[in-house]
Structure 1
Amino acid sequence: MIVFRDLCKSFVVNGERNPVIDRVNACFPTGAAVGLLGRNGAGKSTLLQMIAGTITPTSGEILSDGSISFPVGFAGSFHPDLTGAQNVRFVARIYGIESDALLDFVADFAELGRAFHRPFRSYSSGMRSRLAFGVSMGIPFDTYLLDEVTSVGDAAFRRKSTDYLRARMQNAGVVFVSHSIPMVREICSAAAVLENGNLHYFEDVEEGIALHQEMLRGG
């Protein structure tokens, strides 16, 4: 379960404070697969990073009763001067996972070849997402935070990623940020729409999609 209590986040731009999240109170149930929807710039990635604990709220709090992954797809999760393999070992130590087993899993899953032993800063955005998704799927979290990551790679890799995610979802929840409505329908059972700092949660994913599309049309 992930609970938001009077959650606020604002940034100062050109001397003005701009709220991104404004007094949000909501709850994502344990094991729910939530599609996080909203237009570009609505604050979806910011909310994801606050759930993970990599960004601090301006006020309010986020409570959880289980382990939460780092935001997959967020480049800041890894050290740019370490190789992909070294980053995997570092993450394994942080989460108390056997490093050799995680290294073998990610090397096979991410399909980076020789680039696995090159500095992370040399990776393309797609390679970074492959590494991040592989590391995340290699660790048994209670909730996975995913940011457009299933759109990375060719059709075979996307299919493999989706299949493995579904296997993890048998025992875990997901907060999934995506602009692909078909992917949201395929993966998620609930939806949350972020608009003008407000978060609207729907147990029915189709109701959330309908509100999101209405917002995009200017409704």
Structure 2
Amino acid sequence: MIRFENVSKVYHTRSGERHTLRNASFTIDRGTALGICGANGAGKSTLLRMMAGVEYPTSGLIRRGMSISWPLGHASAFHTTLTGADNLRFVARIYGKHYSDLIDEVEDFARLGDYMKMPINTYSSGMRARLAFGVSLAINFDCYLVDEITSVGDVTFQERCTHALRERKERGTLIMVSHSPETLRTYCDTGATILDGRIRFFDTIDEAIDAHYASQAMALT
């Protein structure tokens, strides 16, 4: 499970305090397939980073009762002056996975070819995302976090992503952020919305999508 206990996240900007989460308390159980909706800047990606432990809350407590991936596609943690292969060697040591097994799995999934031996600062944004997606899926986590990544790459790569995420959903927990309703409907059963720092949960992903668009329509009137 993932449990938030009175969690708030506040950024201090030149125009004042910006609350992306306000005193949130909730629990996400194992086996959940949750889709999170919200406008640009609502705090969806920040929420995933806090779940992963990549970013800390301003206040409150986050408890994790299962292993959680970093947000899939989150490529900013790579050492960009090192090669893709060297970055994988570092990941293998951290997670106790054989380097040869890891690089074989990532090469098979990401299909980066000779670029695996080149510095990541020579990669396009799409190539970085493919590498990040591949290494994320090559490590066995109880819960996978997905942040706007399923449209990366060509049709063949997207099909591999779809198959891999559905397989992870069947045997674990999946939490996804996307602006695409169809993507959320493909992978998620339940839903949530973030608006003005408040998170609201729904029994179905369709209810969450409808609530999100209703709030968007109200904001335009």
Q: Deviations over 1:188-208 (max 9, x none)?
A: 011111111001111211111
- The residue number in structure 1 matching 2:48 is 48
Q: Deviations over 1:4-58 (max 9, x none)?
A: 1111011111162211111111121211111111000001111111111111110
Matched, 1:116 2:143: no
The residue correspondences of 1:62-77 to structure 2 (distance < 5 A) are 62-77=62-77
- The residue number in structure 2 matching 1:148 is 148
Question: 2:106 and 2:159 mapped to 1: Cα distance?
Answer: 16
Matched, 1:169 2:169: yes
Letter of the 1:65 counterpart: G
- The residue number in structure 2 matching 1:214 is 214
Letter of the 1:64 counterpart: R
- The residue number in structure 1 matching 2:134 is 134
Q: Deviations over 1:47-83 (max 9, x none)?
A: 1111111111100111121000011122222111111
| Mean CA deviation greater in 112-121 or 136-145 | 112-121
Q: Is the 8 A contact 1:33 1:174 kept in 2?
A: yes
Question: 1:146 and 1:37 mapped to 2: Cα distance?
Answer: 13
| Mean CA deviation greater in 72-81 or 156-165 | 72-81
Question: 2:99 and 2:148 mapped to 1: Cα distance?
Answer: 26
- For these two proteins, the number of residue pairs brought into alignment is 219
Aligned residues: CA RMSD: 1.2
TM-score of the two chains, using structure 2 as the length reference: 0.95
Question: 1:139 and 1:203 mapped to 2: Cα distance?
Answer: 30
Question: 1:75 and 1:132 mapped to 2: Cα distance?
Answer: 6
- The residue number in structure 2 matching 1:200 is 200
Letter of the 2:147 counterpart: D
Question: 1:108 and 1:146 mapped to 2: Cα distance?
Answer: 20
Question: 1:145 and 1:24 mapped to 2: Cα distance?
Answer: 19
Question: 1:49 and 1:101 mapped to 2: Cα distance?
Answer: 27
Q: Deviations over 1:60-118 (max 9, x none)?
A: 11112100001112222211111111111111111111111011000111011111111
Aligned-residue offset at 1:141: 0.3
Q: Deviations over 1:117-176 (max 9, x none)?
A: 111122211111101110111111000011111110111110111101111222111111
Percent identity between the aligned chains? 44
Q: Is the 8 A contact 2:169 2:187 kept in 1?
A: no
Unaligned runs of 5+ in 2: none
SS at match of 2:80: coil
Question: 2:192 and 2:64 mapped to 1: Cα distance?
Answer: 17
Q: Is the 8 A contact 2:193 2:211 kept in 1?
A: yes
Question: 2:214 and 2:95 mapped to 1: Cα distance?
Answer: 41
Q: Is the 8 A contact 1:70 1:77 kept in 2?
A: no
